[in-house]
Amino acid sequence: MQHRIIVLGAGYTGAIAAGRLAKRLHPEEVRITLVNAEPDFVERVRMHQVAAGQELKHRPFTEVLAGTGVEFRLAKVSAVDADAKTVALIDAAGAERLEYDTLVYALGSRWNDHGAPGVAEHAYEIAGRPGALRLRDRLARLDAGQTVTVVGGGLTGIEAATEFAEARPDLKVALVARGGLGDWVSPKAQEHLRKVFRKLGITVHEHTEVAEVRADAVVTGSGEALPTTVTVWTTGFAVHPIAADTTMETTATGQIVVDRDMASVSHPDVYAVGDAGYAIGDAGKPLRMSCASGTPMAWQAADAIAARLTGGKAGRAPLAYAQQCISLGRKEGLIQFVTPDDQARNKSLRGRTAALYKELICKGAAWSISHPTLGIPVRRRHLAEAETANDSTVKALA
């Protein structure tokens, strides 16, 4: 009988894992099913661009997976029974339960409102395509002079604020950050951030807590009401809740606790990759939710599964960092080089060159969905070096 592998979620990590497994295993011996709620691949790292009105390349899974032997199922996952080794799906035909021998759990994450009053009712989010499209429609209806307030001073918030300000210079754009603007990057990088924000006319409210979101204002912890027409909430992500409802060992936030091969520590037939998995990096610290973390997690899981089924030995994908890539609109960017545990080095790449660099990283990530094993050195020291290897291949093929 064929060994049944089901991959839940077809974001970067799920799609890469499915494709890499198909490359490493014989189709007569395994059956790989990729389940996703949307029919085409979504470049999640570009959702701020979608919200700003840009159109992205259409990548239907029927084309992406053509010739791989991976079976695609357009369905929503409603439950996982890790003890009975089944998953419950809902599609256009109704409900169905599938049995698996090995499960790759890659359902990812969504926006996190942190339970703040008024966020769910009045704020917009860009953690996924539906939210980005909803925000795009709203921004398109704004009149000149109206205000867009982005809450959250992390990578997503910075990219969103600069993208909106560049695309719609007629609007007033503001950013509310709990800390200082880019206070985790090096001094020169932070200076560049401030320069770009000034150039784009973005108002920054630093060291500001948000206590409530209203239809026409963001209320700070001190009680000040910041007038706004549209509020965009970018204060982090929350994992899909299904794992927490199973018997698998999870963290307080719902991530599946995994070993170095990305196998669940409580259910070794389940592998969790991307935002859904709680993995410790090579520097001894938990990996952050990001595409940079999820991609090598997918490599590791796929290689470990293939080795387990074939009697081979899995390599060790790199679980360390080298850089953070930040787009600041289409013309500016920032590449902050970091230590393996993601701390800023006193070295960065800024300006137009950084914008092009970031664009190559994004293209490389999307390209790797259809080429899950090409250009991926097994023994790279850092995640970004592997990403750059892919990007160089993309550039050569362009």
The partner residues of 151 in beta bridges, in order of sequence, read 176, 233
155 and 203 both lie in a single domain = yes
**327 is a domain residue:** no
**33 is a domain residue:** yes
Per-position DSSP letters for 191-215, written without gaps between them: HHHHHHHHHHT-EEE-S--EEEE-S
368-375 average pLDDT score: 64
Contact 59, 41 (CB under 8 A): yes
pTM of the predicted structure, to 2 decimals: 0.90
**pLDDT tens digit string along 222-270?**
999 999 999 999 999 999 999 999 999 999 999 999 999 999 999 999 9
> Which of 201, 233, 265 finishes a domain?
233
- The Cα–Cα gap between 103 and 301 comes to 10
280 and 137 both lie in a single domain = no
Residue 198, classified by CB atoms within 10 Å of its CB into exposed (0-12), middle (13-18) or buried (19+), is: exposed
Contact 13, 110 (CB under 8 A): no
- Find the helix or strand (DSSP H, E) in which 36 lies: strand 30-36
Contact 314, 306 (CB under 8 A): yes
**32 is a domain residue:** yes
216 and 265 both lie in a single domain = no
pLDDT for residue 369: 80
- pLDDT above 60: residue 108: yes
- pLDDT above 50: residue 374: no
Instruction: State the residue range of the domain holding 134.
Output: 114-233
- The Cα–Cα gap between 16 and 6 comes to 13
> Which of 291, 318, 345 finishes a domain?
318
172 and 256 both lie in a single domain = no
**217 is a domain residue:** yes
Rounded to a whole number of angstroms, the distance between the first and last alpha carbons of the chain is 42
Coil, strand or helix at 140: helix
Q: How many domains does the chain have?
A: 2
223 and 130 both lie in a single domain = yes
Task: Kindly state the DSSP code that residue 86 receives in the 8-state scheme.
Answer: E
CATH number, domain with residue 221: 3.50.50.60
Contact 25, 306 (CB under 8 A): yes
59 and 19 both lie in a single domain = yes
**92 is a domain residue:** yes
pLDDT for residue 1: 84
Residue 47 binned pLDDT confidence (cut-offs 50, 70, 90):
very high
Pairing of strands 109-111, 123-124: unpaired
**385 is a domain residue:** no
Of 105, 143, 131, the C-alpha closest to 51 is 131
Residue 382 binned pLDDT confidence (cut-offs 50, 70, 90):
very low
200 and 297 both lie in a single domain = no
141 and 280 both lie in a single domain = no
Burial 8-27 (b: 16+ CB within 10 A, else e): bbbbbbbbbbbbbbbebbee
121 and 220 both lie in a single domain = yes
Kindly state the tokens that stand for 212. Answer: 């409530």
- The Cα–Cα gap between 255 and 265 comes to 12
Residues whose CB is less than 8 angstroms from the CB of residue 124 and which lie 6 or more positions away in sequence, other chains included: 51, 131, 134, 135, 138, 230, 231, 232, 233
**323 is a domain residue:** no
228 and 122 both lie in a single domain = yes
136 and 206 both lie in a single domain = yes
100 and 143 both lie in a single domain = no
**372 is a domain residue:** no
> Which of 233, 264, 279 finishes a domain?
233
Cα angle for residues 150, 132, 113 (degrees, 5° grid): 55
Pairing of strands 30-36, 71-74: parallel
